[in-house]
């Protein structure tokens, strides 16, 4: 099992929010975000199993922006298996998980989409990169993805965000990208945009 927190929501028909922190974060980081998105949904917040200079991450990297692809694939499978186990243990719908990831957490969420057809019902990816190149994506019809990106992001270039959007769209996912003229930080306005997208997409408000 991966280190995690599970909070049972008031409404089991809503997606379970899978929270995936950024480098150096932990399973407490995004809990306030989950509350903003949907305070009635169940929450599964996971801590990355890899340490980089004492900082938790979801997979190893060789350098800034260069992923250890072998470890990425291994950790993606590990997370997918964990979701299978957690859904049985906590009795939530395995086919109704919405990932909410920031930076490194957004990258592992993206990797779930790249490797497994039914891993996620949807994803909110804050400042993601293309997790892995040169692989054929599964059919993501019925999967909704919201990407937030910064035009001045030093870690994740706008080109990379646009490439991720087109790769997901080609795999039949429904993708929306929200741009801000900021860097790599998670801003209040992009969180609000994600909340709005969630309501329109999952609550049909």
Pick the catalytic residue from 29, 42, 45, 103.
103
pTM for this prediction: 0.97
- Reply yes or no on whether 103 is catalytic: yes
Residues 59-93 pLDDT 10s: 999 988 899 999 999 999 999 999 999 999 999 99
Residues 159-182 pLDDT 10s: 999 999 999 999 999 999 999 999
- Reply yes or no on whether 38 is catalytic: no
Q: Residues 4, 44: contact at Cβ < 8 Å?
A: yes
Say if domain 4-203 classifies as CATH 3.40.50.1820. yes
Q: Where are the domains of the chain?
A: 4-203
- Reply yes or no on whether 153 is catalytic: yes
Pick the catalytic residue from 45, 144, 153, 161.
153
Residues 8-59 pLDDT 10s: 999 999 999 999 999 999 999 999 999 999 999 999 999 999 999 999 999 9
């Amino acid at each position: 099992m991966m280190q995690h927190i599970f909070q049972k929501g008031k409404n089991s028909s809503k997606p379970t929010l899978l929270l995936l922190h950024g480098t150096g974060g932990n399973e407490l980081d995004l809990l306030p975000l989950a509350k903003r998105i949907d305070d009635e949904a169940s929450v599964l917040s996971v801590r990355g199993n890899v340490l980089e200079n004492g900082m938790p991450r979801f997979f190893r990297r060789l350098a800034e922006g260069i992923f250890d692809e072998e470890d990425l694939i291994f950790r993606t499978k590990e997370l997918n298996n964990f979701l299978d186990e957690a859904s049985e243990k906590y009795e939530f719908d395995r086919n109704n998980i919405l990932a909410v990831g920031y930076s490194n957490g957004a990258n592992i969420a993206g990797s779930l989409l790249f490797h497994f057809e039914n891993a996620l019902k949807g994803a909110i990816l804050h400042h993601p990169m293309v997790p892995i190149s040169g692989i054929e994506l599964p059919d993501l019809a019925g999967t909704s993805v919201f990407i937030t990106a910064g035009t001045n992001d030093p870690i994740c270039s706008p080109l990379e965000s646009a490439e991720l959007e087109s790769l997901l769209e080609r795999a039949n996912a429904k993708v929306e990208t929200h741009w801000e003229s900021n860097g790599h930080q998670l801003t209040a306005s992009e969180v609000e945009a994600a909340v709005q997208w969630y309501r329109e997409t999952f609550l049909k408000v």
